[in-house]
Structure 1
Amino acid sequence: MFKHAKESQITITELMLPSHSNFSGKIHGGHILNLMDQIAFACASKHSRHYCVTASVNRVDFLNPIEVGELLTLKASINYTGRTSMVVGLRVESENIQTGEIKHCNSSYFTMVAKDQNGKNVPVPGLILDDVQSVRRFARSIARQQQAKTRTTQFKSSEFKIEEHLELIKKQNAKVEL
């Protein structure tokens, strides 16, 4: 079975309240991450028709601060489907209600895994790629997975070669005392 990404796309908008702020008066990053996880869950569950869990989060860069009183909009869409996993692409934007200015706050990719009632992984519907953007997103997810495997192998304790990294470390704010 295959489904279009638009069948499970989700958008939520929430007003940012003082209770969501940190000590500097900006919206707390942890609150944003919580909202991102919730919308990723909703999108993946809608696509798979199963309970889903977060397996990994690929990079979250906070590009712009979010102010109290702004509207925060989160958009989620399935970018990739494996056998039991899905990559949910997320985009977060804030809107100043008075000026109408919209800021891109961050984008991220959540890998979600579908589970049955016993907590076992279950197959998910495949993704119908119906435009250039959907093919690009799917291919990009494959490339990200391959890069992650390479990184994991390169820094595995049994494979790590210290001499390959010492020169690089000398240029950083660190002191090696072996």
Structure 2
Amino acid sequence: MSDHDTNLYGTIHGGVMMKLIDDAAAAAAGRHADGPAVTVSVDRMTFLAPVRAGDLLSVEAGLERAGRTSMTVGVRVTAERWNHSGPAAEVATAFLTFVAIDADGSPRAVPALDVVEPARSGAN
């Protein structure tokens, strides 16, 4: 993040983070839908800690639910200082709903979400 992304308080503007979140969520939804998907709603967005100019952000998005044409995507944002080693801090989370669209902009069906069960280890 750079000084161009800051607000009047010297921290990264929430709108800049919202754009990064929406971009990552759209990529996850579009990959699952195998085509365009548009944002229908921001169901929840929580800013947990301020982000400063110079912080390195990581944005991870994954599908939480797939309906007939819609998908819910969860997003997690972490930040770390560019000049310090150490653990990244969670700075924001969000849930967004997307709808897959066809070439005419009409909703289209999406694949079901395959849930992978975690591997079990050891004896019962």
Give the TM-score of the pair, scaled to structure 2.
Answer: 0.90
Partner of 1:54: 39
Counterpart of 2:63 (choices 61, 70, 78) is 78
Counterpart of 1:108 (choices 61, 83, 94) is 94
Runs (5+) with no aligned partner, structure 2 = 119-124
- Asked if 1:66 corresponds to 2:51, the answer is yes
Give the TM-score of the pair, scaled to structure 1.
Answer: 0.64
- 1:140-155, aligned counterparts within 5 Å? none
Q: Which runs of 4+ in 1 moved over 4 A?
A: none
C-alpha separation in 2, matches of 1:75 and 1:81: 18
Partner of 1:123: 109
Tell me the secondary structure at the aligned position of residue 128 of structure 1. coil
Aligned residues: 117
Residues 13-50 of structure 1, C-alpha deviation per residue, up to 9 Å, x if partnerless? Answer: xxx01111111110000000011111111111111012
Shift in Å, 1:73 = 0.5
Percent identical residues: 37
Tell me the secondary structure at the aligned position of residue 32 of structure 2. helix
Which structure has the larger Rg over C-alpha atoms?
A: 1
Tell me the secondary structure at the aligned position of residue 116 of structure 1. coil
Shift in Å, 1:79 = 1.0
